[in-house]
Structure 1
């Protein structure tokens, strides 16, 4: 999976990767707070639409005492339409900027048709897709923060045969509200994030309740990552 490799931060930059193995990792798991363990298990058990491939990836180790990360790609046959990374952060002592003990951080990106990338309203629309995806599932969240960036590439000289390309990138973070036992609905937040990935990729709505969603047009061919 060629998932997003950009750098992340809590309010969307630095991602350091942490890997634990063997006996040290088992001791670490035993000391991990129950709310975080439950939140991670919910992410692992979530059922998602089949066009989205999700797998664990090394998590950042400096943003919070506890973290867990996933990467995903929206795939149509052999064509990758969008990719992204979602990180769950947890600080049992709470965090003033988060206004909670959990935080979700994401990076999402996709290729665009050049004419779509030229739309001046595109950044506002993409941000509304993020908040709208959470609201559509009835999720309570706070302190949303992020940026929407679009990049266009034009090729010259020996590369002039390549068509112009454009990309949209969404970096964002938000605080999922905690339920009983201090555990947020991480599976539902993951599903909402996948809804965002699907919208950015130009997939049709997943169900009748999403029929009013505006989607981007399908991409023009295999993407080179």
Structure 2
């Protein structure tokens, strides 16, 4: 997933296990957040989607954890993205909850798809549809869909024009027992969005692989 790392990371490697500790060295990371991060490792995803932890953004919430993913088919990266889990134990007025999921998804577009005037609406419906298809409860969704075209000149004139789609979105996953959202299902839904943006056909029932994330990278307090 080197290509995705080059595009998405901020110049740092993955974080080692990081915990918020009190002066006595005791771990004070909230149990719901630890459980929500652990659940991400149980998600069953398509074999074409490679997922691994990456450095989370700072200062967005007291606790955060991030994953990056790439859709790889026949050694070609078709789409990539980042999913960030935020947690504020005190709650956040704009979130209407204590957890928030934030995402960025990007992909190259075929010319005929790039010309579709309804493309932004379709891409947004892929996200909401992926969540709804799993019966997930969520609130306060917001985001943007951006379509861009690149044309090359001078020394780059031999390159064909290219179009890209970028989806930035966030939503509040509703909390279940113990105040913990079903982060594994939300991750699986997000990966369905990645697959659709990449142009993959629907997965066959039961097709998937268990994602095992490196244990040395853990929840990251602010």
Pairwise TM-score range, normalised by the shorter structure = 0.7 to 0.9
Please give the per-residue CA displacement for 1:99-133, whole angstroms capped at 9, x wherever unaligned.
00000000000000122111110000000000000
Unaligned 5+ segments in structure 2 are: 207-222
Distance across 2 between alignment mates of 1:113 and 1:141: 32
Q: Which residue of 2 aligns with 1:216?
A: none
* 1:184 and 2:181 matched: yes
CA distance in 2, matches of 1:101, 1:117: 37
Structure 1 residues 125 and 203: alpha-carbon distance in aligned structure 2, compared to 1, 3 A threshold: same
Residue 3 in 1 paired to residue 1 in 2? no
In the TM superposition, what is the alpha-carbon distance from 1:47 to its structure 2 partner?
A: 2.2
Task: Report if the CA contact (8 A) 1:143-1:175 is conserved.
Answer: yes
> Where does residue 116 of structure 1 map in the other structure?
113
Segments of structure 1 that go 5 or more residues without pairing to the other structure are: 8-14, 210-225
Question: Once the two structures are superposed, what CA deviation does each residue of 1:157-208 show, in whole Å capped at 9, x if it has no partner?
Answer: 2211101100000000000000000000000000000000000000011136
1:35 aligns with 2:43: no
What's the counterpart of residue 100 of structure 1? Answer: 97
2:153 is aligned with 1:156:
yes
Asked if structure 2 preserves the Cα contact closer than 8 Å seen for 1:82 and 1:197, the reply is yes
Alignment match of 2:123 (pick from 99, 123, 126): 126
CA distance, structure 2, for counterparts of residue 18 and residue 83 of structure 1: 17
* Aligned partner of 1:78 among 65, 75, 78: 75
| Correspondence for 2:211 | none
Q: Distance in 2 between matches of 1:74 and 1:118?
A: 23
- Answer yes or no: is the 8 Å Cα contact 1:17–1:61 preserved in 2: no
Per the normalisation by structure 2, the TM-score is 0.84
Matched, 1:89 2:86: yes
